[in-house]
Amino acid sequence: MGNVYTVTGNISGGISVQRSNIIIDGNGHWLLGSNYGTGVYLEHVNDVILQNVKIEGFNSGIYLYHTNSSTVKRNIIIGTGIVVTQPSKGNQIVENTITRGGISFSFVQDSIIRGNDVCRISVLASNNITVNNNRIADDAREDVKLLYTEDVGGIDIDNTDNSNICGNIIERKIIGINIWHCANLKFSNNTLADNQVGFKLHGSSLKYNLHSIDTTNTVNGKQVYFLVNQSDIQVPTDAGWIAAVNCKRISVENWVSTPNWDAVLFINTSDSEIINSTFSGNFNAIRFDLVSNCTISGNQVRNNGYAAFYFEDTIDCTITKNNVMDNFCFFRIWHNSENNTFFHNNFIGNVTGSAAGRDDQNIWDNGLEGNYWEQYNGTDANGDNIGDTKYIIDTHTDSVDKYPLMIPVSSFNVVPEFPSWTPTILALAVITVALISYKRRLHTKIRNKKRACCKHELEKENAKNG
C-alpha cells in the first residue's frame, strides 16, 4: 500500500479519490455537505483503503465506481450510505455504522459486506458476494408499518448468483430477506425478528428457487424449514417458515404460521398436504407453483394481506373444509392451474375473490355440495341447505359453484386466537400490489383484501363443536 493521507480537521465538502494504492484516514473528522453531492467519490481506482471518516449532509455518503480491491471500513455515515457499482470487483465494506441509510451493490463481483450496522443492504445483478455478520434494523417507529418505500427489505438480493448470506441480524423491517430471481444462494445463521414478514422468495423458473437455506436461520425465534429434493417429511410444528422445492409427500399439520411473504411455499412439489393449521399475518397464506395432487384441508386462513390461496401452474389439488376469512382475496389462480377441486370451504369477509387466467378449468363443488359464500343471496326453497341457483364466482370467466351452501360449514378442528398485528399486513397488501406489478416489468428488462353475523355464528359453532 502506498501513501497515507490523514484528515486533520472537519471539512465542508467532499473528497474525490483519483489515485490508486493509497490509504485515506479520516481520523474521526467530519465531511459536512449541504444536502447534495457525494462525501467520498472513488472512480477508476484500485487498492484504496478509506477509514475512520464521518459523513453527513450528502446525497451519497461513499460512492465506488469502477473500483477494485478496495476497503471501506469503520466509517460513520448519517442519512445516506455506501454505493458500489459497475463494474467493480474484490471490494470489502466492513464495520461501518450507517444511520438512516444502507449499503448498495450493483454489478459487483467477488466482494464482501461484513460487520456493518445499517438500515438495509441491497445486492443487484452481482456474483459471488458475501453478506455476513451485519446488523440491519429500523428504528421502532409506528409509522413505518404503513409505509412501503424503497426501504423494503433488510437484505434485498436481486438477480444475484453464487452468494453467501450468513450471521446477519435483521429487525423491524417490512421484509426481512427478499430474494428475487437469484441462483445458488446459501443462507445460514440469519436471525429475523419483529419484521412485518420474514422471508420472501420469488423466481420465474425452478433454478431461481434452488437455494440452501438451513435450519440455523430463524424467524421470530423459530427455525426455517426450506426443503429441497426431499420426500416423506413431517414438518415440525415449531417451524418459522416452510418451503418445499422439488419435493414429494411433505406434510404440514397443526402448525401456526409465523409472518412471511408466503407462509407455506410449495414449488414443483406433489402428493403433499397442509392440514389443520392456522395462517394469519402473511402476505399469501399458501402459495403453490408447479404443484400437483396436494391437499389443503381443515385450515384457518384469516387476516392475510393478499391471497389465502395463490396458485400458479397447479393441478389436481383438493381444497376442502377451510375457513377463509378477512383476507384481501380468497384465491388467486394463474396460468395453467386446472382441475383443482374446492368444496366445503367458508369464504367470509374477504375483500375480493380476484381469480384470473384459467380458474374456469377448476371445480367448485364435489358434485353434491359446494362452498359457503358470504356474498351469495340465492334462495333455498326445499330447505336442503343448498342454494337453488348457482353462485357466479367470477363474472369474467365461467367459474361457478353449482351447489352453494346456505350456511357456513362448521366442522373445523382449529379456532385459534389471532395475533394483534395481523391487520397491519392488510394495509401492506393494498400498498404493495402495484409495486409487485412494477417489479415484474422491471425484471423483464434486467433479464432480456361483511357481514359480522356470519362470522359470529361460525365462531359460535366452532366453539360448540370444539
pLDDT tens by residue, 210-255 = 999 999 999 999 999 999 999 999 999 999 999 999 999 999 999 9
Predicted pLDDT of residue 357: 56
Q: pLDDT tens, 44-92?
A: 999 999 999 999 999 999 999 999 999 999 999 999 999 999 899 999 9
pLDDT single digits (tens) 1-40:
569 999 999 999 999 999 999 999 999 999 999 999 999 9
Mean pLDDT value across residues 159-176 = 97
| Cα-based torsion angle of the residue sequence 278, 279, 281, 286 in order, rounded to the nearest 10 degrees | 170
Give the pLDDT mean for 152-178.
Answer: 96
- Phi first, then psi, for residue 17 (nearest 5°) are -100, 120
Q: Which pLDDT score is estimated for 360? A: 64
Going through 277-392 in order, the beta strands assigned E by DSSP cover 278-279, 284-289, 295-297, 300-302, 307-312, 318-320, 323-325, 329-334, 341-343, 346-348, 372-373, 391-392
Q: How confident is the model at residue 412 (pLDDT cuts 50, 70, 90)?
A: low
pLDDT above 90 (res 415): no
Q: Residues near 81 by Cβ (< 8 Å), separated by ≥ 6?
A: 60, 61, 62, 98, 101, 102, 103, 104, 118
- Work out the mean pLDDT of the chain and round it to a whole number: 88
- Can you give the pLDDT at residue 356? 57
Measured distance between the N- and C-terminal CA atoms of the chain, rounded to whole angstroms: 73
All residues at 6 or more sequence positions from 77 whose CB lies less than 8 Å from its CB, including other chains: 39, 54, 55, 56, 61, 62, 96, 97, 98, 99, 101
Greater confidence, 415 or 326? 326
The residue ranges of every structural domain in the chain are 229-417, 421-465
Tell me, what's the pLDDT at 445?
Answer: 43
CA 76, CA 79: separation in Å to the nearest integer?
Answer: 10
- For β-strands 97-99 and 391-392, DSSP reports them as unpaired
Phi, psi of 454 (to 5 degrees): -65, -45
Name the range with the highest mean pLDDT among 272-286, 387-401, 409-423: 272-286
Q: Give the model's pLDDT for residue 145.
A: 39
pLDDT (mean) for 319-347: 93
pLDDT of residue 354: 61
pLDDT of residue 336: 86
State the pLDDT at residue 411.
59
The whole-number average pLDDT for the span 341-356 is 86
Residue 90 CA from chain centroid, whole number:
29
Residue 140, pLDDT score: 46
pLDDT given at position 352 = 81
Task: Please compute the mean of the pLDDT values over residues 451-462 and round it to a whole number.
Answer: 48
Cell of 23: 490509504
Mean pLDDT of 123-130: 98
pLDDT at residue 1, rounded to an integer:
58
pLDDT confidence of residue 185 = 98
Tell which wins on pLDDT, 268 or 445. 268
